[in-house]
């Protein structure tokens, strides 16, 4: 029986292994391991991809979001106790970045069609302490519409995108700078290059993207002990830099990102076309945007039996995410939040294999097996 892994990073990276090894060896031989040419070149390339002026490569995606919020605090725009509106269905890092800075995450439930924040529910939670909206482009789906733009303008809110799962995606309508690439739609964005991401490093890495030069400069200083020049510390900062080795590996992977995204899109289209089991709700393909399918999330009420059936047929699956942030023990203060769609998603969601080496042909075989499931 053919096996379909959910994720095999060794195999995924093996497609470009000689290029990666050459790039990494060049860094080792150069003797420059931080703040070198690879980091500067990566920053330019990511800024271009996100159609934005400034990129600061950092240690990981959580740090990228933390540093953005911290930079707005240093600018005096955010204060302790202010609120940031954020999707209730997200990886917990989005929420951690807010609370770690002494701000309050104000959760909004999801739209079951987009699996992103329900933008029609944002306005009702805006209050005098609201300073920002954090749209999370979950599963590789751009979370962006005219409502977010209008609310940010009407209430003078900062927009911080969580672009951890959507590098290379394009929204259906323009961002505040007139472009459509995610990571460049709002005032600043946190990007993750965690190894499993569509653009994954060989360890932790991330980036802040922004058109705001002042925020970019503060983030760069904060990530480097708070220093704007050697032994001159203007902030009580951190060490959140990226390694040259990760930057070099990422530049290789970046050259192949388009091909990787196209493979994911073809796999998703195959699943959508060929899965026809009435027990299953498929994700929506939106033709007016470019989804990059970090995950392919379906919903099914009979989740345990279904996953067992997949396993018996050699198909690995996963859940993103079984426990939403407001139900995690560390966020007991959010436990009473009423998030029925988020909770339904948490109970029913199954992510099907979509990472390399899964091909559209594999997706077709998997779809036929799925069509044979009945509870």
Ligand X SMILES: Cc1ncc(COP(=O)(O)O)c(C=O)c1O
Task: Pick one of 70, 84, 88, 93: the residue that binds ligand X (CB under 6 A).
Answer: 93
Tokens of 232: 């001159």
Site string for ligand X, 131-150 (x = CB under 6 A): -----x--------------
Q: How far is CA 21 from CA 31, 65, 357, in A?
A: 16, 30, 20
Tokens of 329: 């023990």
DSSP result, 15-42 = TTHHHHHHHHHHHHHHT--BSSHHHHHH
Work out whether 91 is an interface residue with ligand X (CB under 6 A): yes
Distance CA 145, CA 151 (A): 10
Least separation in angstroms between CB 16 and ligand X: 21
Task: Pick one of 101, 116, 141, 165: the residue that binds ligand X (CB under 6 A).
Answer: 165
Q: Which is closer to ligand X, CB of 12 or CB of 275?
A: 12
Work out whether 168 is an interface residue with ligand X (CB under 6 A): no
Work out whether 192 is an interface residue with ligand X (CB under 6 A): yes
Work out whether 243 is an interface residue with ligand X (CB under 6 A): no
Which residues, 42 to 71, sit near ligand X by CB under 6 A? Answer: 60-62
Work out whether 94 is an interface residue with ligand X (CB under 6 A): yes
Q: Which is closer to ligand X, CB of 4 or CB of 193?
A: 193
Q: Which positions ≥6 away from 272 have C-beta within 8 Å? A: 282, 283, 285
Least separation in angstroms between CB 116 and ligand X: 11
Work out whether 164 is an interface residue with ligand X (CB under 6 A): yes
Tokens of 126: 């805006």
Q: Which is closer to ligand X, CB of 224 or CB of 246?
A: 246
Q: Which of 261, 80, 298, 303 minimizes the C-alpha distance to 166?
A: 261
Least separation in angstroms between CB 178 and ligand X: 25
Pairing between strand 54-58 and 349-352?
unpaired
Task: Pick one of 54, 72, 194, 321: the residue that binds ligand X (CB under 6 A).
Answer: 194
Choose one: 10-18, 70-78, 161-169, 330-338; the region binding ligand X (CB under 6 A). Answer: 161-169
Q: How far is CA 57 from CA 35, 47, 210, 241, in A?
A: 10, 10, 12, 7
DSSP, collapsed to helix, strand or coil, labels residue 72 as helix
Distance CA 13, CA 23 (A): 13
- Give contact residues for ligand X (rule: CB under 6 A): 60-62, 90-91, 93-94, 136, 162, 164-165, 192, 194, 204, 206
């Amino acid at each position: 029986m053919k096996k379909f892994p959910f994720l095999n990073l060794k195999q995924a990276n093996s497609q470009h292994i000689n290029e990666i090894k050459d790039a990494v060896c060049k860094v080792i031989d150069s003797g420059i391991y931080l703040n070198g040419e690879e980091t500067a070149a990566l920053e330019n390339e990511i800024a271009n991809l996100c159609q934005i002026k400034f990129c600061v490569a950092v240690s990981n995606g959580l740090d990228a979001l933390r540093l953005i919020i911290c930079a707005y605090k240093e600018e005096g725009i955010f204060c302790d106790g202010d609120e940031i509106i954020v999707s209730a269905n997200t990886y917990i890092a989005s929420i951690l970045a807010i609370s770690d800075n002494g701000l309050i995450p104000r959760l909004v439930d999801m739209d079951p069609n987009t699996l992103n924040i329900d933008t029609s529910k944002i306005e009702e939670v805006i209050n005098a302490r609201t300073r920002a909206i954090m749209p999370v482009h979950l599963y590789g789906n751009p979370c962006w519409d005219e409502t977010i733009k209008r609310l940010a303008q009407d209430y003078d809110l900062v927009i911080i995108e969580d672009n951890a799962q959507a590098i290379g995606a394009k929204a259906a309508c323009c961002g505040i700078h007139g472009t459509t690439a995610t990571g460049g739609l709002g005032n600043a964005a946190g990007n993750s290059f965690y190894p499993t991401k569509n653009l994954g490093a060989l360890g932790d890495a991330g980036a802040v993207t922004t058109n705001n030069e002042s925020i970019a400069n503060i983030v760069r200083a904060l990530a480097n002990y708070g220093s704007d020049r050697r032994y001159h510390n203007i902030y009580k900062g951190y060490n959140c830099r990226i390694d040259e080795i990760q930057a070099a590996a990422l530049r290789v992977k970046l050259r192949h990102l388009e091909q990787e995204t196209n493979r994911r899109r073809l796999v998703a289209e195959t699943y959508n076309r060929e899965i026809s089991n009435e027990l299953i709700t498929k994700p929506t393909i939106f033709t007016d945007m470019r989804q990059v399918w970090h995950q392919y999330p379906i919903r099914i009420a009979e989740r345990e039996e279904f996953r067992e059936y997949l396993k018996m047929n050699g198909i690995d699956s996963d859940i993103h995410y079984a426990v939403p942030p407001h139900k995690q023990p560390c966020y007991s203060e959010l436990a009473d939040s009423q998030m029925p769609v988020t909770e339904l998603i948490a109970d029913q969601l199954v992510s099907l294999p979509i990472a390399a080496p899964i091909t559209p042909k594999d997706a077709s075989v998997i779809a036929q097996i799925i069509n044979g499931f009945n509870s």
